[in-house]
Structure 1
């Protein structure tokens, strides 16, 4: 929960400055425990965050490691900031067939805008430096958070093996559409054809009336995903079996939450660690695909999709 560009730092959760001494930190932790404890009217999710924050900075060794990795105090030049695009893995196992660049559009947009925000003529040694990211406007941190979420989902799908095909950053309405109005991933496998939205809102997310709600949630993410899937389905002449929304593990109460159908499409909200389970077993109400139909659907999509 503290590794997202959108999340509060451990110090912010505890309500102290990063320069606080050990005694101030300990007092703040005890106060926040009393304030957030569910038995005294506090919020359970916030209570867990307070405990996790203390684990990260409650001892000198843990605090030193946290500060190095999150841009508090001096950071060695060779220190990895944690938010760079991952390097290709030297892995010889069969992988899912993949097209497009997961998170590519948002990561490129982030790099352009972070340099504009830093100032014309300024050279950024590391556009992913934690201190820089933490001080950037919310819309820039959101771009990076979403790029990271899409890349994480892509790694999960790739590990499903060669029986799956995935298209990343798919435009919903041809070349002239808004690149931000895209489908993050389309996954085809034995359990069906799915449109996937990878999100990171920077905090806990709840579900109300088949839609996501939370402090960081804007608009109607599920309804938007369904609308883009319908456009793509008409263009390619295919039928999606369901929609999947993937969120960070710490931001959902249950790893798998199946919703009622939205505009006739089964929807499931899953934690990232549960995604492979859902894609292997399928979404309730979705139609499995097998035999020659898999090749037909793959060919139709391959001939139709455009990438952001």
Structure 2
């Protein structure tokens, strides 16, 4: 909520302009509380959003922090020519991390920057292509690119904390002819080999018959994920243990929803905060990988690995 390029901003929820005075903002908040309160016929979900919006912009310090950009421009720290991606450094954290390769969200960030500049127009200076006002005024397809890039980066930070027993590949190209055919992440560890899809639809989603559904869902993302994983598995001569769709916590009804087998592969849809739990314990029906087999699978993947 509020931290996605696809979601309504705190100002939208309060029905004021971003440059509204503090007094106007306070009056708008009180009005929205009366309009949305369940006891007066309002929507309880919107009532909660109004309160959350006030928490984000209700004080000068909070508002200043919110206006700086909601983290839209906070790319993970990495060296573009380095073999291993590393998240933003945390000096106090000395725990062993998973071995990580590739640039999470990199393809979509690059595509976003290209399209946002084309949309703004030739000769227009964009000192900050991640400015919240600019992002939220852009067409949906452009905002969606940035939302998914941020989602991939958030997942990368989580899987990096799994520990040295895991190897992770990000932004893996599955079809050299089409850069959009890719796996956001591949995670290999004792619980198995998993293909991950990191998404942010900007709205709650549900599942039906092994697929995601919702007003913002286009196509068949789970079926596409499974087919892409199976194709890469054939190229590397390995078998994926399962597939996991990672969504913002606010957009899923339950933290972990296991869908059973979809086209022969166990699939789970999880909220972001539950991802580490799922990857450590595995998905029901998924085959674990241990001992020498883990090293063999890693070697086979490295031999065919290409990045988007």
TM range (shorter): 0.7 to 0.9
What is the match of residue 13 of structure 2? 13
**1:57-80 CA distance string (max 9 Å, x none):** 33455334433x249xxxxxxxxx
What is the match of residue 106 of structure 2? 104
Gaps of 5+ in 2: 78-87
2:287 maps to 1:283: no
Q: Is the 8 A contact 1:45 1:204 kept in 2?
A: no
Q: CA RMSD in A?
A: 2.3
Gaps of 5+ in 1: 72-80
Partner Cα separation in structure 2 for residue 18 and residue 123 of structure 1 = 21
For the residue of structure 1 that corresponds to 2:275, the secondary structure is: helix
Instruction: Within 5 Å, give how 1:151-162 maps onto structure 2.
Output: 151-162=153-164
Q: Is the 8 A contact 1:96 1:157 kept in 2?
A: yes
1:226: how far off? 0.8
For the residue of structure 1 that corresponds to 2:223, the secondary structure is: helix
1:195: how far off? 0.4
2:73 maps to 1:83: yes
Cα separation, partners in 2 of 1:124 and 1:23, compared to 1, 3 Å: closer
1:29: how far off? 3.9
Q: How many residues get paired?
A: 296
Partner Cα separation in structure 2 for residue 223 and residue 279 of structure 1 = 20
What is the match of residue 139 of structure 2? 137
Cα separation, partners in 2 of 1:196 and 1:123, compared to 1, 3 Å: same
2:169 maps to 1:167: yes
Q: TM-score, normalised by structure 2?
A: 0.87
1:25: how far off? 4.2
Cα separation, partners in 2 of 1:306 and 1:64, compared to 1, 3 Å: closer
Partner Cα separation in structure 2 for residue 248 and residue 17 of structure 1 = 26
What is the match of residue 181 of structure 2? 181
Instruction: Within 5 Å, give how 1:5-44 maps onto structure 2.
Output: 5-20=5-20, 25-26=25-26, 28-30=28-30, 32-33=32-33, 36=36, 44=44
1:36: how far off? 4.8
Partner Cα separation in structure 1 for residue 211 and residue 42 of structure 2 = 25
2:152 maps to 1:150: yes
1:163: how far off? 0.5
Partner Cα separation in structure 1 for residue 279 and residue 215 of structure 2 = 28
Partner Cα separation in structure 2 for residue 109 and residue 53 of structure 1 = 30
Q: Is the 8 A contact 1:84 1:128 kept in 2?
A: no
1:131: how far off? 2.1
Q: TM-score, normalised by structure 1?
A: 0.87
What is the match of residue 80 of structure 2? none
1:106: how far off? 0.6
1:51: how far off? 2.2
For the residue of structure 2 that corresponds to 1:301, the secondary structure is: helix
Partner Cα separation in structure 1 for residue 103 and residue 199 of structure 2 = 16
Instruction: Within 5 Å, give how 1:1-308 maps onto structure 2.
Output: 1-20=1-20, 25-26=25-26, 28-30=28-30, 32-33=32-33, 36=36, 44-67=44-67, 69-70=68-69, 82-87=72-77, 88-89=88-89, 90=91, 92-173=94-175, 175-176=176-177, 178-308=178-308
Q: Is the 8 A contact 2:72 2:150 kept in 1?
A: no
Q: Is the 8 A contact 2:69 2:130 kept in 1?
A: no
Cα separation, partners in 2 of 1:169 and 1:70, compared to 1, 3 Å: closer
